[in-house]
Amino acid sequence: MTAPASMPLSGVTIVDFTQVYMGPCCTQLLGDFGADIIKIERPVTGDISRNSFPDKDGQDNPIFLAINRNKRSLSIDTRKEEGREVLHQLLVDADVVVSNFRAGVMERMGFGYEELKKINPGLIWASGTGFGTEGPYAHKGGQDVIAQAYSGVMWRRESADSPLSVYPTTLCDYTTGMHLMQGILLALRTRDESGVGQKVEVTMYDSMLHMQMQEACMQLNRGYEVNWGAMPLSGVYATMDGAITMVGGFTEDPLRHISLALELDEDLSLRPEFVTLEQQFEHKPALQSIFRDKIATNTTAYWGERLENEGLLNAPVHTLEQALADEQTTANQMIVEAEHPTVGKVRMLNAPIRLSATPPTIRRSAPRLGEHNVEVLQENGYDEAAIARLQELGVLR
């Protein structure tokens, strides 16, 4: 099913070697806006995420389905010369090739940038790695938790007493995937003017450092560590029936408003030990203890209304299940459905980007492994006999 000609990326063909999360979330979003994504998978096992969780639907499990819609699967053995020849044929007319292997893997496979630009000067060669191609960590594999640790993201927590922990959502993978998509779009725009492709490279390490722009600038220029999670007037507090988060900022004299919202016996902003931000930091344990004890005496909804009336940002702490069922999720049309040929109806998250004239579309569900082997090869000039020969050689499976 081809994309409507009006979509932003209609006519753009992307040969997609990516797997797991960082690369697939990038290419899915490109596919949502019209690009033809040809997903290259190893025979039998396919993308690693097809098998990362035991599931009743096997390789077509929700982990894989979540980030591989609007793609066509070509299951091909790149260890065989015939398999590499097929892919070189595809890449002659492709616009973009994307990978997220360790540095050097694409080159060893025969698909490095210098080699491919000889057969297709307009090709955009996009790569996401853990650390890049140079430096002491270039040889290391990239992974979300590893990037959290190396980049300093994991070190900062609400207080020094809090144990170090893994951020449980794939923050680094997603952020790097979005940077990879941005790089591809910038390169496509440049090629519109020059007709020439280029290399696009992003790393998880760089993406995590870049996420800390303000903190890094303070550290580099003032030697001061900014920790937004440790602000004295903000925090997460248990209520009688759950938890609420409060942000004590963006208003004049926020501590006075907090005192009113929490129905305290006194205006804490008048206490000598809490007058300035520096003093609030110094006496944060005492201040937070007051907040914590008071908030525990009533419900989340009660305190939410009180804080709202005083102009203080706040929110109940939702589970993912609650967030997905929230009316705001429905209003934003963030849940969509697609019909899968074997799984049936699949509910998943919509693209988070809204374009009024050319919105994202779901034209096909995530592919079964090798589902489009014959279709893709026929489009690239292979007849039935040639395809049968490749099948006999075990190149296509």
By annotation, the residues acting in catalysis are 173
**What DSSP state is assigned to residue 76?**
B
Give the H/E segment covering residue 24: helix 22-32
CA 378 to chain centre: 33
Query: How crowded is residue 92: how many other Cβ atoms within 10 Å of its Cβ?
Result: 12
Residues 6+ apart with CB under 8 A from 74: 38, 39, 40, 41, 370, 372, 373, 376, 377
Give the H/E segment covering residue 97: strand 96-99
99: left (phi over 0), alpha (psi -120 to 50) or beta: beta
CA–CA gap between residue 44 and residue 195 (Å, rounded): 38
Residue type, 158: E
Residue 176 bridge partners (DSSP):
none
What are the residue ranges of helices labelled H in 223-253?
none
Cα–Cα separations (whole angstroms), residue 292 to 231, 240, 303, 369: 15, 11, 12, 52
- Cα–Cα–Cα angle for 119, 82, 22, rounded to 5 degrees: 70
Residue type, 114: E
